[in-house]
Structure 1
Amino acid sequence: MSSTAGRWPYPSLIAHRGAGLYAPENTLAAVRLGAAQGFRMMEYDVKLTRDGVAVLLHDDTVDRTANGRGRAADLSLAELAWLDFGAWHSAPYAGEPIATLHSIAAYTLANDICSNIEIKPTTGQEDATGEQVALLAKALWASAATPPLLSSFSEAALRAAMMAAPELPRALLIAKDIPADWRERAADLQCMGLNLNHRYTTKPMVDAMLEAGYSVAVWTVNDPSRARELLNWGCHAIVTDEIHAVSPMFFS
């Protein structure tokens, strides 16, 4: 494991979108399943409804993961509450409602589970989403021993989050190739770390980030041997869909 583990106050294994492969992603059911498999940290995507409620959803639209159509940003929470966010995945989850950040905070805090909140703004709402999600996270986790980690691919959203709640830790998500100016970007946003795509993650890059004092989390790692390799390199955490193969029971 990493010699810089003190910089990372979170578990080393993180369930992606809850247990988003084996249950409907970004739902309370997925988070419950991940917890049942021993995961003590969840990653999930958060954006805003038309009426400004923070809900869990990856895409701009509900088309893929619900029995409705349209952008979440154009729908109120009351309208989203009519939709089924589970049946698309499998019959046992039919009727699963949309999850709010309030409900996920209540469950994770009650069960001592850490959170990586990915700020996933609807296109064009980067600033507002970053600000509102950060303020809400600050309030919901005010008494928590470990604050949520805020991450985003959107530097505008992360900047807004930094301005709204500078005390919450942040990580810059990198989609593909790691940019040459990663140090400047991370420093400008006062990030504690970077969350990298494992397909583009190399040991020299991990070494450079650790040497610079940043935490390194890597997604989405579903091969146990790759997960072990990355942890042996000193990466602080692995984000995985494979809650059985890449399990806290085998990676301590």
Structure 2
Amino acid sequence: MTPPRSWPLAPVLAHRCGGLLAPENTLAGLAAAAEAGCGGVEFDVMLSGSGSPVLIHDETLGRTTDGHGRVALTRDENLRALDAGRWFDARFAGERVPTLDEAAARCISLGLSVNLEIKPATGQDDETARVVARRAGELWAGVALPPLLSSFSELALEVAAQLAAHLPRGLLVERAPPDWLQRCRRVGAAALHADARYLDRSTIIEARKAGLWVATYTVNDPGRAQTLFDWGVDCIITDRPDVVRASVTRHRSSTGYPAGFGVQSC
């Protein structure tokens, strides 16, 4: 059987807020994605040392801020003092590590659909999922298009299912393991999110027959994106939302909707 309803998010999502258009996991990235015409974004949420949900990918601060040390040991007041934009380009100097509250408000105001990855620091799967799932449910309460929660952590997805059952969930994998379908069933995932380098057509077909959506990351080549959509994926996550979105839009207009396209705009 095919998924019971259309993929709820935009079919092309900007990776880590804005892909390569802005510093990752920042409010500037959300603005860049919207300006590029992208209808949705993917971003990572981890807990600070104060237990607050914030947007950041790494467990340490050094790559994407001017700080040092572990995110999970950095209190909010110190995290807020860091520059999260200058590393990318001087134009973004002063950009901060945003809170989930700030990102949700900006996404809602910009009309961006959201794939929120629950990104626990080591040993914090349960706690991170509890905080993030609850807060996401509150922040998007009453919004027509709530976020989809994804994670590599199966424990985090199980916790999210208990606390925010109304939010759809996706199991993140690199190469799909032999028991990927059983794992999706066990955590109540509505979607399989797989690395495009290892995703094949047979897995996509099997997932869709099982009633699952399929999202894939990180696809920066327009030709590869078109092939994956033709195979039946529902969503491409990309660092180049400007290039991929434009190419896919042209492809859709010339050939009609490829298999797997949802109803949202790119």
1:220 and 1:240 in contact (8 A); partners too: yes
2:38 and 2:242 in contact (8 A); partners too: no
Distance 2:46 2:246 in 1: 29
Change (3 A) 1:233 1:114: same
RMSD: 1.3
Match of 1:185 in 2: 183
| Worse-matched range after superposition: 237-246 or 219-228 | 237-246
Question: How big is the shift at 1:249?
Answer: 6.6
Distance 2:93 2:29 in 1: 13
SS of 1:105 mapped into structure 2: helix
Q: Quick one: which amino acid aligns to residue 45 of structure 1? A: D
- The correspondence of residues 22-101 of structure 1 with structure 2, limited to 5 A, is 22-101=21-100
Q: Quick one: which amino acid aligns to residue 183 of structure 1? A: L
| Matching of residue 230 in structure 1 with residue 228 in structure 2 | yes
Question: How big is the shift at 1:22?
Answer: 2.1
- The correspondence of residues 64-213 of structure 1 with structure 2, limited to 5 A, is 64-175=63-174, 177-213=175-211
Across the two proteins, how many residue pairs are aligned to each other? 249
SS of 1:247 mapped into structure 2: helix
Question: How big is the shift at 1:5?
Answer: 8.4
CA displacement, residues 42-66 of structure 1 (integer Å, 9 cap, x when unaligned)? 1000001111111000000111100
Q: Quick one: which amino acid aligns to residue 167 of structure 1? A: H
Question: How big is the shift at 1:70?
Answer: 0.8
Q: Would you identify which runs of 4 or more consecutive aligned residues in structure 1 move more than 2 Å?
A: 3-7, 248-252
CA displacement, residues 192-237 of structure 1 (integer Å, 9 cap, x when unaligned)? 1110100000001110001111000010000000000011111100
| Percent of matched pairs sharing the same residue | 42
Distance 2:98 2:161 in 1: 24
Distance 2:8 2:82 in 1: 37
Q: What TM-score, normalized by structure 1, do the two folds share? A: 0.96
Question: How big is the shift at 1:250?
Answer: 4.1
Distance 1:212 1:76 in 2: 43
1:174 and 1:197 in contact (8 A); partners too: yes
2:17 and 2:29 in contact (8 A); partners too: yes
2:13 and 2:238 in contact (8 A); partners too: yes
SS of 1:7 mapped into structure 2: coil
1:86 and 1:95 in contact (8 A); partners too: yes
Where does structure 2 lack aligned partners over 5 or more consecutive residues? 253-266
Where does structure 1 lack aligned partners over 5 or more consecutive residues? none
